[in-house]
A and B are shown apart, each in its own frame.
Chain A
Amino acid sequence: MKVLIVEDEKTLAYEMEDFLKKAFYVCDLAHNIKDGLEKMEMNSYDFILLDLGLPDGDGLTLLPKAKKHNPDAAYIILTARGNLEDRITGLDLGADDYLAKPFSLLELQSRMQAIARRKFNVKEELLPLGDFKLDLQKRLVLFGDNQIELSRKEFDLLSYLFLHNNRVLTRMQLSEHIWGTFADDDYDSNYIDAHIKNIRKKLNTWAPADFIETVRGVGYRIKK
C-alpha cells in the first residue's frame, strides 16, 4: 500500500515513515501543501496522512483538492489542534479518520488497517495464530470450528498484539489502545496482566497459547 505523509514536522514524518515501512507500507513525504499536491498529481496513494497546521496553509483546505486527484485514497487527519470543529469539518470534507497528536504509531497502523478492511474491502482470510484462527471482520477467535468466547476488550488486546506481532507492546500502549483517553496513569497496575491471563486461560483450554510472550518489565508480544 502506498502512503503519502503530509507533515511539516520533518522528524515526525521520518518516524512515521520509519514505522510504516517496517509494516510494509511504501511512503512518500511532503512537508507543505504545495509539495503534497504535486505528489498527489503524479502518484496515486492508498492512504494520505494529513497534518492540519502546514506552513503554507491549513491542511483542511488541501482536502477537497486532494480528493480530486486521489478520490479513492483513505484520508486520515493528524492534528495537534484537537478541537471539535476541526474534527467535524475534517470528517465532513470526507476524511476517513482523525487522530489527535500525540498519537501512537501502533494506533495509527491499527486505524489504517481498520480503514483498509472497511474501505478497500480487503477480504482478509482467517488469519492464523498458533493453532487458532483470527477473524478480524467478525471479531472472532476460532479453534477449528469452535468459537472462543472472548470479551470485547480481550479481543481488542489480542488483535492489537496480533497486528503488531513480533513487536513488544508495553502495558501502557495496550491500555491506551483499550481505554483511550480514560487509560489511567497508574502504570504499575495489573489490569492488562489480568486480561492477558484471562485470554491465555481461555485459549489454553483448546490449545497452548504460547505465542503470547511475556517480556519481563516491558509488556507482551505475539511471536509468529
Chain B
Amino acid sequence: MKLSSKLILFITSSKLVVVLLFIVSLPFLVDGIVSEYTNYSLRRQQDKVIQIVQKKGIEHYLQGEDSYGSYTMLKEEYIALEPAIKGLPIDTIKTAQRVVEQDTLNYRILMHTFNFQQKPYLLEIGKTISSINQYNKPLQRIALYVLMGLIAITLLFDLLFTRILIRPLGKIIKSKLTNRKFPFKDRFIPVETSTYDFKYLDESLILLMEQINEAFEKEREFTANASHELMTPISILQNKMENLIGDEQLSDSVVIRIVEMMKTLDRLKKISNSLLLISRIENEQFVKSDTLKPAELLNEVVEEISHRLEEKELHIKLKLNPNLFLNGVNRDLLFQLFYNLINNAIKYNVNKGSIIITDQLSNSGYLIAIADTGIGIAAEEQAFIFDRFRKTNLNKNVGYGLGLSIVKSICLYHGITIKVNSEVNVGSTFSLLFPAGIYTESM
C-alpha cells in the first residue's frame, strides 16, 4: 500500500473513531448540558420570585390564601409557594413526581425555603422532564451535523496537506528509482524539500548512486585491465607456439603435442573472449544504431554456418517476413545471437534432423522462433541454460557454457524476451520476442 493511502486511511479511521465516540456519548453530554441549564434557569426563577417577594411582599402571591400555586396550560411548569415548617431549611433540585389535576407527571423540581417577616416559606418551581428533554433530539442532531461538517473539512485539509507533504517522496522515487537505467549517465539533481527526512533519503540515494557509478566505473576499468593482463600472456604463448611449430627440426610427435597445447590455449582464449564480450554487452559498449532485415541477417548466418549443416545432413528451412525491419539494433551482436542459437540447433541435433526458423507478428510483438529436432533439454534444466559455465548436456561436443549466456545478454541489451520450449528427444524451440518500437514492417 502506498504511503499516501496509508496516511489517509489512518487519518480517516481515527476521525471515524472520534465520531463514533462522540455519537455514543452525545445523549449523555446533551442530558448533562440540559440538566445543568435547567438547574440554572430554575435558580434564576427562584431569584426572581424572591426578588418580587422582597419588593412587593408575600401578599403579592398569597393574596390572603394559605398557599399559592400556578401552572402553565400544558402543566409544563409550575410554581408553588406555601408556609414551611420552622427549623427545617430545604434547598434542593431533584426529579420527582407531582400530581397536577389528576395527572401524575415527572418534574424537575427546585425546593427552596426562605424566611419572610420571620416566617418560613417553601418555594417549589417545577419543569416537566418531557419539556426539558424536548430539545435533546434536535440538539443532538445539530451537534452531529456540525461535527460531521467539521470532520469533512478537516479531512479535506488533511488530504491536501498529506499530498503536499509527501510530494517530495514521489519526486525522489520518480527521479531516483523508477525509469533509471543503469549505468546512471545523467547528473543527479537533488529534490527540493523542507522535510529533513526526505532530504536525508534523497541525499543518501544520490550518494548510493554515485557509489554504484564509481564501482561500475572501476569494474569497467578492471575489465579493460584484466583483459589486457589476460590477453597479453595468451598472446605471448600463442605466438611462441606458432613460431615453434614452424621449426622444421622438430619431430612429428613434438609437433603434435604443440598442436594439442595450441588447442588448449585456444580454448582459454575463447573463454576469455566470451567473458569479455558478455561484460562489454553488459557495460553497453555497443552502439545500437543499425537497421536490418532479419530475413537477410538469418540467411547470412545460415550461409556462414552451412558447412556444419552439411556435415550432419540437416535440413534447414527459413520462413521469414521479407518486409520486416529491425531498427536501433547492433548488427554484429544480432549476428552473434542468431549464430549461437543456430549453432546450438545444429550441435544438439540428430543426423538428418531439421531446423525450422519462422516468424510471426502479433499484438505482443515480433516473434522469431528457431526450432530443432535435437536431443532437447530436460524441464528441470531449462531454467539454468542461460547461466554461465553451466553445462546441461554432458555430451562431449558441448561447448563451455557461454554461448547461451552471450545470447541472454544480447537479448537483455536489446529488450528481447527469450523463451525456450523443449522436450527431451523431441527438440527445442527458442523464441525471441522483439518489443514494439524495435521493428517496422514496410510494404
Contact = CB atoms under 8 A, between A and B. Distances in A.
Contacts of B397: 186
Contact of B307 (A85, A167, A181, A194): A194
Contacts of B339: 182
Given A9-B232, A84-B286, A191-B308, A105 B239 contact: yes
B341 interface: no
A101 B235 contact: yes
A127 interface: no
B231 A185 contact: no
A194 B343 contact: no
B314 to A, nearest CB: 14
B311 A170 contact: no
Contacts of A12: 232, 235-236, 239
A217 interface: yes
A131 interface: no
A80 B243 contact: no
Q: Is the interface of A mostly helix, strand, loop or mixed?
A: mixed
A150 interface: no
Query: What interface size band does chain B fall in?
Result: 35 or more
B224 A83 contact: yes
Given A84-B285, A182-B304, A102 B256 contact: no
B354 to A, nearest CB: 20
Contacts, number: 114
B236 A105 contact: no
Interface residues of A, number: 46
A170 B227 contact: no
A143 interface: no
B252 interface: yes
Contacts of B243: 15, 18-19, 105
Given A81-B224, A185-B399, A217 B270 contact: no
A85 B286 CA distance: 9
Interface stretch (B73-81, B209-217, B261-269): B261-269
Contacts of B273: 181
B275 interface: no
A95 B212 CA distance: 36
A180 to B, nearest CB: 10
Interface string A177-216: 0010110111101110011000000000000000000011
Contacts of A190: 311
B276 interface: yes
Contacts of A186: 397, 399
Contact of A191 (B227, B230, B252, B311): B311
7 contacts: A19-B246, A81-B228, A101-B232, A182-B304, A185-B267, A185-B400, A187-B266
